[in-house]
């Protein structure tokens, strides 16, 4: 199924995890198109495809809403709270659930197609590559399942929780783990390709750009590793741990730190280009376009900066978020807040 | 359910409760009398319950390398906890020390303090160390619950993601699951009822984790000043982190944190299940707590305070914070000078300003309610320097 330019089909827009948006919105949204108050918190990010916004909620439902009106198309009830950002693949929308199951639902009607079982809550977003669905779980296992049936192909047990959404490309699949390691596994078998040991947990979801894997760690460092070998190309130290996944565009890497700064580094060598004024603490991933980078803060705002200078361009004070990323298109900005309100803004 | 009523008068002595004369406040805040009704199950007082196996004993452990290059050191925390537990219990083997408090069949709730993001919260290395210690005496991860009132604060600090697989992390403001059964955060049958400032909702309900699920509680508060209660230590971390609807007890500049904190800690499930307190003073806060946004008011105390008596531990915490404030040259936590009142913004800028007349007297009130030792001459304060 062809994607539109404005489709955001999984966490950070697309499966390359670059968080890149084609939108060049230099001014802030100033008009409410619609808003929907969901029954409980939204911890995940909304995704957008073919005129529908899909959002998971801790009330145990995934909602499909018309992107123009916010009107509910369907909702599907899973077995427990949902913290996982959904992914769209063909006619399926896939997401993990706190009941330990990965769900695949028909995205036109919201009917269950299959489930795949894990041993613990699934907070990661499933990643689909070559008809295989990859997902980690808080039980410490990383699994590969068949996209058409959910049948588990292989599983690897690690020593910590996996809350880092994987990146799959070519022959390898990459993810972080709270055991302090970044793993590169062979996608076909689950065997180790390489492992990088950081100083503490890696919760952030890796991004890969120009052959470099990019991810921050609780050990205060942001790492750039050779995606083929795991060799450290460079690392950059912040003032606290890093939970926020990175976005990459125009030779720059962006991520938030728990120290409250949004950082912009040079992809080539990790040199700091700019950092924002401290925003108390940042855990959500940013999204980066060719001229703007946006991030949702824990304490109440979505903020946009010039990618080159770090100048603050606009902010929307609509409610905070821990992990949600806004969808930024030229037509609209869609954002979900931790209290459970989904906004469409123009 | 049992119903007990406490009546407190502000400064002029107490109404008679059959509990002796109780009063609160230091005379500056002119509060009205307060009646608090505690609805809780009647449980026999466990010898492990507060003040626990070692009334009046506080072990203060210092490790110079507990923070290295701004990072809390797991290796140093391991040494501090092991040596501190041995000193507290007199056992020579750490596992035996822990076995004084928990058995393999226990469901252990770990009460953390996540409200000082970022940095001045119960540190992840300490939580992991306690989990490992519980594992060492046979408590499996599936029987360990890390909890607090606020799920967003838990998550922003990473507790959900950084503890070992199997350990449950519960924010009481969210529903959670126990073996497939969905559960609310609070037990509707266990509550404290009082009218502090004419608020509409006069009940504060107890966490279901405490009332129902846990058989033991390990309390991991932080060594922090609090702008209303003076310090947020063992007692406040337990009471205000386990009961809901508690912010209503302080409306600037007045606060009922004394006596509410103390009374809440007498509620039978909380009192009987809280068996051990390890206060995280690796990074400590002498002003603008509990959130401590201004890093100027944070210092590296590199200390853990360990005990079973929450009153004695909080009393030593109070002494440490007072000593720090004297050294800095800012008013005492007992200060009653109205010129030192200010807004929250003032408090963030100046260590001489506070929105409240602080009331650290809740610690003494807790002693009067039988929860531990307040007088310094009754406290066995042991200092250890390790590493």
CATH code (residue B320):
3.40.50
How much of chain A, in percent, has pLDDT values that exceed 90? 77
For residue B179, name the pLDDT band (cuts at 50, 70, 90): low
Helix (H) or strand (E) segment spanning residue B368 = helix B362-368
Q: What pLDDT digit, counting tens, does each position of A295-313 carry?
A: 988 777 889 999 999 999 9
How much of chain B, in percent, has pLDDT values that exceed 90? 80
For position B10, what pLDDT does the model report? 61
| Residues of A within an 8 Å Cβ radius of B | 40-41, 43, 58, 80-81, 98-99, 120, 123, 138-140, 160-161, 163, 178, 201, 203, 218-220, 239-241, 243, 258-260, 280-281, 283, 298, 320, 322-323, 338
B18, part of any domain: no
B95, part of any domain: yes
B39, part of any domain: no
- Average pLDDT value for residue range B40-67: 94
B363, part of any domain: yes
Number of domains making up chain B? 1
Closest to B174 (Cβ–Cβ): which among A41, A239, A283?
Answer: A41
Range B343-351 contact pairs with CB under 8 angstroms and sequence separation of 24 or more: B344/B227, B347/B227, B347/B287, B347/B288, B348/B288, B348/B293, B348/B294, B349/B294, B351/B286, B351/B287, B351/B288, B351/B297, B351/B325
Which residues of chain A have a CB within 8 Å of the CB of B179? none
Q: What pLDDT digit, counting tens, does each position of B21-36 carry?
A: 455 555 444 567 899 9
ipTM of predicted assembly, 2 dp: 0.89
B9, part of any domain: no
Which residues of chain B have a CB within 8 Å of the CB of A120? 165-166
- Average pLDDT value for residue range A123-150: 96
More confident residue, B153 or B59: B59
- Whole-number mean pLDDT of chain B? 91
B77, part of any domain: yes
For residue A21, name the pLDDT band (cuts at 50, 70, 90): low
Q: Do A178 and B162 touch (CB under 8 A)?
A: yes
Rounded to whole angstroms, the Cα distance separating A263 from A277 reads 10
For residue A73, name the pLDDT band (cuts at 50, 70, 90): very high
Q: Do B118 and A240 touch (CB under 8 A)?
A: yes
Enclosing domain of residue B279: 46-183+206-386
Whether B350 shows a pLDDT value over 90: the answer reads yes
Which residues of chain B have a CB within 8 Å of the CB of A241? 158
B34, part of any domain: no
Q: What pLDDT digit, counting tens, does each position of A22-59 carry?
A: 666 777 788 999 999 999 999 999 999 999 999 999 99
Q: What pLDDT digit, counting tens, does each position of B58-98 carry?
A: 999 999 999 999 999 999 999 999 999 999 999 999 999 99
For position A302, what pLDDT does the model report? 86
For position B178, what pLDDT does the model report? 64
Give the residue among A36, A9, A5 at the shortest CA–CA distance from A23: A5
B217, part of any domain: yes
Q: What pLDDT digit, counting tens, does each position of B283-296 carry?
A: 999 999 998 888 89
Domains along chain A with CATH numbers:
32-345 (2.130.10.10)
3-state helix vs strand vs coil in chain B, percent to 5: 30, 25, 40
């Amino acid at each position: 199924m062809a994607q539109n330019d404005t489709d955001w089909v999984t966490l950070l827009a697309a499966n390359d995890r670059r968080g890149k948006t084609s939108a060049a919105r230099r001014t802030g949204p100033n008009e409410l198109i619609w808003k929907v108050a969901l029954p409980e918190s939204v911890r995940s990010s909304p995704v957008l495809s073919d005129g529908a916004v899909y959002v998971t909620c801790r009330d145990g439902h995934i909602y499909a809403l018309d992107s123009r009106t916010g009107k509910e198309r369907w909702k599907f009830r899973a077995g427990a709270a949902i913290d996982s950002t959904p992914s769209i693949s063909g006619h399926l929308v896939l997401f993990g659930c706190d009941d330990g199951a990965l769900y695949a639902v028909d995205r036109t009607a919201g009917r269950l197609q299959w489930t795949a079982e894990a041993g613990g809550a699934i907070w990661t977003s499933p990643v689909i590559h070559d008809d295989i669905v990859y997902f980690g779980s808080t039980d410490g296992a990383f699994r590969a399942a068949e996209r058409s049936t959910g049948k588990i192909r292989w599983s690897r047990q690690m020593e910590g929780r996996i809350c880092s959404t994987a990146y799959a490309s070519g022959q390898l699949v990459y993810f972080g783990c709270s055991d302090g390691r970044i793993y590169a596994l062979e996608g076909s078998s689950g065997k180790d390709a390489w492992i990088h040991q950081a100083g503490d947990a890696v919760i952030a979801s890796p991004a890969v750009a120009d052959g470099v894997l990019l991810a921050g760690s609780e050990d205060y460092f942001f790492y750039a590793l050779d995606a083929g070998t795991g060799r450290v190309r460079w690392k950059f130290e912040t003032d606290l741990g890093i939970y926020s996944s990175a976005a990459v565009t125009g030779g720059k890497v962006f991520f938030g730190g728990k120290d409250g700064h949004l950082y912009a580094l040079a992809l080539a060598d990790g040199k700091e280009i700019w950092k924002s004024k401290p925003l108390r603490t940042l855990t959500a991933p940013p999204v980066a376009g060719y001229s703007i980078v946006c991030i949702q803060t824990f304490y109440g705002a979505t903020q946009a900066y010039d990618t080159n200078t770090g100048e603050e361009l606009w902010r929307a004070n609509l409610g905070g978020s821990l992990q949600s990323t806004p969808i930024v298109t030229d037509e609209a900005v869609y954002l979900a807040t931790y209290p459970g309100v989904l906004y469409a803004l123009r | 359910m049992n119903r007990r009523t406490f009546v407190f008068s502000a400064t002029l002595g107490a109404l008679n409760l059959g509990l002796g004369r109780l009063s609160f406040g230091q005379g500056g805040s002119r509060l009205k009398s307060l009646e608090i009704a505690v609805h809780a199950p009647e449980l026999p007082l466990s010898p492990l319950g507060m003040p626990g196996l070692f009334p009046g004993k506080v072990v203060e452990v210092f490790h110079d390398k507990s923070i290295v290059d701004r990072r809390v050191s797991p290796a140093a925390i391991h040494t501090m906890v092991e040596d501190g537990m041995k000193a507290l219990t007199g056992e020579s083997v750490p596992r035996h020390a822990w076995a004084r408090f928990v058995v393999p069949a226990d469901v252990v709730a770990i009460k953390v303090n996540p409200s000082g993001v970022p940095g001045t919260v119960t540190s992840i290395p300490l939580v992991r160390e306690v989990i490992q210690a519980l594992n060492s005496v046979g408590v499996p991860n599936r029987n360990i619950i890390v909890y607090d009132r606020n799920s967003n604060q838990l998550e922003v600090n990473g507790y959900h993601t950084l503890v070992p697989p199997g350990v449950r992390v519960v924010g009481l403001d969210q529903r959670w699951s126990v073996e497939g059964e969905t559960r609310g955060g609070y037990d509707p049958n266990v509550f404290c009822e009082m009218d502090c400032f004419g608020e509409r909702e006069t009940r504060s309900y107890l966490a279901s984790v405490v009332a129902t699920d846990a058989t033991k509680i390990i309390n991991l508060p932080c060594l922090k000043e609090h702008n209303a209660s003076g310090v947020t230590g063992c007692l406040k971390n337990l009471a205000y982190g386990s009961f809901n609807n508690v912010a209503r007890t302080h409306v600037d500049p007045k606060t009922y944190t004394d006596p509410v904190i103390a009374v809440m800690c007498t509620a039978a499930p909380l009192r009987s299940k809280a068996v051990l307190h390890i206060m995280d003073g690796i990074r400590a806060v002498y002003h603008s707590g509990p959130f401590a946004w201004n890093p100027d008011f944070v210092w590296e105390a590199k200390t853990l305070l360990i005990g079973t008596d929450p009153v004695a531990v909080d009393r030593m915490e109070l002494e440490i914070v007072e000593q720090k404030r004297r050294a800095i040259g800012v008013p005492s936590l007992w200060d009653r000078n109205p010129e030192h009142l200010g807004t929250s913004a003032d408090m963030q800028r100046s260590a001489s300003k506070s929105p409240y007349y602080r009331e650290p007297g809740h610690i003494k009130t807790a002693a009067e309610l039988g929860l531990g030792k307040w007088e310094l001459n009754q406290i066995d304060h042991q200092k250890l320097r390790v590493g």
